[in-house]
Amino acid sequence: MVILTLNCGSSSAKYQVYDWEAKDVLAVGVVEKVTFDGSFITHKAKGKAEYTRRRNCPTHTDAVNLIISLLTDPEHGVIADMSVIKAAGHRVLHGGDAFTKSVIVDDAAMEAFNGVKDLGPLHNPANIMGIEAAKKALPNIPHCAIMDTAWHQTMPPASFLYAVPYEWYEKYGVRKYGFHGTSFLYTAKRASVLLGKQPSETNLIICHIGNGSSVCAVKNGCSFDTSMGITPLEGLIMGTRAGDADMAMPFYVMRKTGMSAADMENALNKKSGLLGVTGAYNDRRDIQNAVECGDKRAALAQDMEARRVKKYIGAYMATLGRVDAVVLTAGVGEFAGFMRKKMLEGLEGIGIVFDPAKNALAHTRNAETRISADSSPIPVFIIPTDEELVMTEDAYALMAGTYDVHTKFTYSFQSKDYVNKSRAEGLRDDLAKLPALERIIALPK
């Protein structure tokens, strides 16, 4: 059985094709610059060289059609025709408070997704268009929505409510929803395996640090608090998002400049964060290069980002009381050692003892590693996320009728014997290049 997963972002469409029986990835890829000129697809099929094809994709429907054409391409494809695919999983950013778990997409679900489009204006329209395009191409299979917000539905009211008029919550759904749910689910379950604990016994602080970033406090295996809010704007300093700020500040700037509400929303989401501080960069690699060339604003941006992460780690330690591990994941968390160093140094007073030598070795998506000192009371793990696997397993279980909320459902990756075949192959190559990597690999207890 082959399962397709689609993750349509505001300007991209990621995909994975998974052979359920073989428990192996057949192909992965992404269409970038969707809705812009210069769109292109990067496609990697098992056993074949990476392939890039340029084709403008004015809409996400065009992007999905491009993906389908490449999956069945005689030279670069991995399936004979689309009838091989028996289920599809779709990432949906915002489900409001209507969804506590993944669901099979029906008319009622689509109506609900459309009803909360204004809560996720950058992502939900793209998610919906991707589902519609895939359903048109694959009308006879179940399409499953994997909700980014569902993981956080376990937060208590004291965590998810804002101190604003209560009727705003009752009438308009004004509350913290949180995002990166599939990433937090995967990394939380894997951290429990590494610790030798049941998820229900595990307290964690997970930092998903990418272009979009958030922190999740996990209590007894469930989301207890998170840094993102009613939209993904709240919380950490991100690539182009401001994160936490005085709520009166936008009104002050609007009065001074004459900016409209739409102008301000655009500025806070797309022109702020690291880009706003540096004036030029939102990619951490570019910022680090600028720092090394003496750019003071780039150095300031790094300091600001790291300090915000430290504040959330400290706050969530106080909230949880006991922390079994800190976890880093996503692009920056997995690869940007220079930022991990800034985020974790100096936390010895709260039980996190950082090891710079281990951190310097940790640069792989093919293994789970530990970068804290052996003497650290609280271990720090880097766990490469696998949102696509969560989507795949949810889709299969929904189709088979075995699915339930994550506290009552067991994923394959919760086993201490779980192996990701493609990552295991990649790790052999990594170890051949850097044998010292082996000493920081984290193994299940």
**pLDDT of res. 351:** 97
**pLDDT of res. 175:** 96
Shared-domain flag, residues 379 and 397: no
Q: How confident is the model at residue 124 (pLDDT cuts 50, 70, 90)?
A: confident
- On whether residue 187 sits in a domain, the answer given is no
Question: Residues of the chain with pLDDT > 70: what percent?
Answer: 100
Shared-domain flag, residues 252 and 329: yes
pLDDT of 333 above 80? yes
| Mean pLDDT in residue range 400-413 | 94
**pLDDT of res. 275:** 96
Q: How confident is the model at residue 406 (pLDDT cuts 50, 70, 90)?
A: very high
Shared-domain flag, residues 395 and 308: no
- On whether residue 288 sits in a domain, the answer given is yes
- On whether residue 27 sits in a domain, the answer given is yes
Shared-domain flag, residues 202 and 338: yes
**pLDDT of res. 159:** 98
**pLDDT of res. 10:** 72
Shared-domain flag, residues 114 and 245: no
Q: How confident is the model at residue 27 (pLDDT cuts 50, 70, 90)?
A: very high
Q: How confident is the model at residue 439 (pLDDT cuts 50, 70, 90)?
A: very high
Q: Using H for helix, E for strand and C for coil, what is the string for the chain?
A: CEEEEEEECCCEEEEEEEECCCCEEEEEEEEECCCCCCCEEEEEECCCCCEEEECCCCCHHHHHHHHHHHHCCCCCCCCCCHHHEEEEEEEECCCCCCCCCCEECCHHHHHHHHHCHHHCCCCHHHHHHHHHHHHHHCCCCCEEEEECCHHHHHCCHHHHCCCCCHHHHHHHCCCCCCCCHHHHHHHHHHHHHHHCCCHHHCCEEEEEECCCEEEEEEECCEEEEECCCCCCCCCCCCCCCCCCCCCCHHHHHHHHHCCCHHHHHHHHHHCCHHHHHHCCCCCHHHHHHHHHCCCHHHHHHHHHHHHHHHHHHHHHHHHHCCCCEEEEEHHHHHHCHHHHHHHHCCCHHHCCCECHHHHHHCCCCCCCEECECCCCCCCEEECCCCHHHHHHHHHHHHHHCCCCCHHHCCCHHHCCCCCCHHHHHHHHHHHHHCHHHHHHECCCC
Active site residue 148: yes
pLDDT of 43 above 90? yes
Provide the residue range defining the domain that includes 296: 197-383
CATH number for the domain that contains residue 214: 3.30.420.40
Shared-domain flag, residues 337 and 397: no
Shared-domain flag, residues 12 and 116: yes
- On whether residue 328 sits in a domain, the answer given is yes
Domain end marker among 329, 360, 383 = 383
| Mean pLDDT in residue range 390-413 | 94
- On whether residue 26 sits in a domain, the answer given is yes
Shared-domain flag, residues 283 and 402: no
pLDDT of 199 above 80? yes
Q: How confident is the model at residue 122 (pLDDT cuts 50, 70, 90)?
A: confident
Q: How confident is the model at residue 126 (pLDDT cuts 50, 70, 90)?
A: confident
- On whether residue 238 sits in a domain, the answer given is yes
Question: Residues of the chain with pLDDT > 90: what percent?
Answer: 81
Domain end marker among 368, 383, 398 = 383
**pLDDT of res. 211:** 86
- Segment 228-251, tens digit of pLDDT: 999 999 999 999 999 999 999 999
**pLDDT of res. 307:** 98
**pLDDT of res. 334:** 96
* Catalytic residue selected from 73, 81, 148, 295: 148
